[in-house]
Structure 1
């Protein structure tokens, strides 16, 4: 039986979450259907465009994504503090990019004078703004706003009705930097792992291709959560690795996925920092989604998450042990 989201999301433990939505009815989100020969490749752009639009609306940063043939991976960072610090005006301005507010809210938003109204008229507006503010840092609302428009477009194109996505998206809490790094690489290299792309540069509709294109021009894409600028400082609202370190990690991991690669790349420093052997790291990023259930991390952070979410137990397979225990350091 599916667990309620309150047993899967705990912002007290981590703001980072890996979410996966899968299609039903043997439907193809993208790519070519081998049964009918029809191509749905254009739908990849639908998803990518919608995802990056939502990143500009919600107080939820997109860290990584990969649009596959019948499912979508995203790694999200919830910025609750940003949402709570938004002005009422900013909350409505963001929300109306994707939804039309109530007529009263629209009128008062245009005039910006609801605070001068009688108390009994202020209450509906105040309640609406409070609701919109909570939605702006709610992962369930983010995924809903990603999936529902895509489903409507696909159903219209297929001239049918009914579910396009499975009823619930899967979410994994990423409880520490090791789990976060492993999951980012797992998502970015998903097309290579499934052999639909040969390199990060050729992985269409992925965050890594977007980052590599921007990296070649000397900047980080503004639609994605940036990597920190320096190795020593932890900066607010930035991924806790430098972009150079992450690029080295990506290319090292990608080459190992391509077993016919001739030139061997030395394991980057970040793998040693995580205290992992080359084989243990590759096994982890190749099977990340199967290794962990609703949470991924070291044993202490997993136990803390279990207690905070009121769960009886957490999945962590015995074939690949928790991150702190996987093999010996390089």
Structure 2
């Protein structure tokens, strides 16, 4: 998954790997792919595929005439388009997993029930609730009691990376009752290199929420979601919900049943209606 993210112009915002399925929240950087040079595209494509004999000749320094150059440009353009296409990303990911699983089971045939399901996140609220929904999968499934015990999730990776960073930094403390970082994000604290960073206004191109605010929000949500969870439940609403003007009950409903609330698009009623008008349809699930 992370290898493909480094090859494609697709960033990982959140993920959860479960026993028989997985969830992933991604950002498609179309403009980044369009800005790549031909050599960049070729180098990335060759990390996954054998390529093309004509491109091999270009790599070996052969000078093409105009007609041959036209064919070469068509090949590279096709690869460029595929390198920011979610369908090609998922094709590579699911194909690899299926082959490895069939190899382990010493069998052949279809592995996945379907191709994949996707939802477009239309606004910040949808992005945040979908990320939390994904990160809380092990909590909802009663497979983990804390975020740090939620194996194979992006929230666990972010927390462990953060805790490793603060060992030598006394400015940031962990709240012992919640086991989440406190105080504002220090600029010099790094985040996992293979995940899209959370940074509010402080990191260009980052997810528009503070890292520590996100930790607080997911921890708070998990304490309400988990039916058997014990411990302290804060009576104060997390700052992110106040900023986005999201009601507490609506948020908790979203992070528990995000997939059932929406179809192809997810967002506020206004965002869904706007997208429906743009696509010349009357409505989308979630705005009706």
TM-score range, shorter chain: 0.7 to 0.9
C-alpha distance in structure 2 between counterparts of 1:123 and 1:198, whole Å: 58
Give the alignment of 1:1-330 within 5 angstroms: 51-111=1-61, 116-218=63-165, 219-228=190-199, 231=200, 233=201, 235-259=203-227, 260-265=229-234, 266-316=236-286
Task: Render the CA deviation track for 1:267-286: whole Å, top value 9, x for unaligned.
Answer: 21111222233222111111
Q: 1:276 to 1:262 in 2, by over 3 A?
A: same
What residue is the counterpart of 2:180 in the other structure? none
TM-score (norm 1): 0.75
Task: Render the CA deviation track for 1:78-101: whole Å, top value 9, x for unaligned.
Answer: 000100000000011111111111
Shift of 1:110: 4.1
C-alpha distance in structure 2 between counterparts of 1:86 and 1:236, whole Å: 19
Shift of 1:303: 1.7
Contact kept in structure 1, 2:15 and 2:24, CA below 8 Å: yes
Task: Render the CA deviation track for 1:272-325: whole Å, top value 9, x for unaligned.
Answer: 22223322211111111111111111122112222333445311287xxxxxxx
Contact kept in structure 2, 1:291 and 1:317, CA below 8 Å: no
Q: 1:236 to 1:200 in 2, by over 3 A?
A: same
How well do the aligned residues superpose, as a CA RMSD in angstroms? 1.7
Shift of 1:262: 2.9
C-alpha distance in structure 1 between counterparts of 2:263 and 2:90, whole Å: 19
Q: How many residues align?
A: 262
TM-score (norm 2): 0.86
Q: 1:221 to 1:273 in 2, by over 3 A?
A: same
Task: Render the CA deviation track for 1:9-46: whole Å, top value 9, x for unaligned.
Answer: xxxxxxxxxxxxxxxxxxxxxxxxxxxxxxxxxxxxxx
Shift of 1:258: 3.0
- Give unpaired runs (5+ residues) of structure 1: 1-50, 319-330
Contact kept in structure 2, 1:64 and 1:207, CA below 8 Å: yes
C-alpha distance in structure 1 between counterparts of 2:144 and 2:281, whole Å: 38
C-alpha distance in structure 1 between counterparts of 2:242 and 2:8, whole Å: 35
Task: Render the CA deviation track for 1:193-241: whole Å, top value 9, x for unaligned.
Answer: 111111110111111111111111232001011112xx4x375421111
SS in 2 for 1:200: coil
Contact kept in structure 2, 1:92 and 1:109, CA below 8 Å: no
Shift of 1:256: 1.6
Shift of 1:170: 0.6
Shift of 1:192: 0.6
Contact kept in structure 2, 1:155 and 1:161, CA below 8 Å: yes
Task: Render the CA deviation track for 1:19-75: whole Å, top value 9, x for unaligned.
Answer: xxxxxxxxxxxxxxxxxxxxxxxxxxxxxxxx0001100000010111111111000
